[in-house]
Amino acid sequence: MPLVDITHAPTVPEHHLRHLGSVLPHLVSLAVECPEEPYDGDLQPGDVEIRFRALGPLDRCGLPVVIEIKSKWTPTREADRQERVDTLHDAIRAATGLTDFGVYLSLPVAAWSQGD
């Protein structure tokens, strides 16, 4: 289950952020798909969690939008993580029209439990 944090400048229009939030679950799922955690195209609640945060007055950021993705480490994700994040960046640009943004993919050793 990927966790996605989107940090954005206050100048980014809300409709752009809403559109980004609507396309990211599928695009992120494709980007982190692997044999250990295959993606069947049928996202369920809790499959991808997205949080938005506007930059505050003390934050320093060189980009108007930064998308941070955390997804559990697997050997296959590790092997091609740069290709995965580059492909995801291109897919986000194509789906949203955003041009000035960054994507950070982190693959920590982790576990997840989501009750019934």
* pLDDT tens-digit series, residues 60-78: 999 999 999 999 999 999 9
Structure confidence at residue 109 (pLDDT): 81
What architecture is the 3-106 domain classified under in CATH? Answer: 2-Layer Sandwich (3.30)
Bridge partner list, 83: none
Q: Where are the domains of the chain?
A: 3-106
**Torsions phi, psi for 16 (to 5 deg):** -65, -40
Q: Which residues contact 102 (CB under 8 A, 6 or more apart)?
A: 63, 65, 66, 67, 89
Looking at every residue in the chain, the average pLDDT score rounds to 93
Q: Are strands 49-54 and 3-8 parallel, antiparallel or unpaired?
A: parallel
What integer is the mean pLDDT of 9-34? Answer: 96
**What's the confidence (pLDDT) of residue 31?**
96
d(CA 89, CA 113): 28
**Among all chains, which residue has been given the structure tokens 């938005």?**
52
Whether the predicted pLDDT of 46 surpasses 90: no
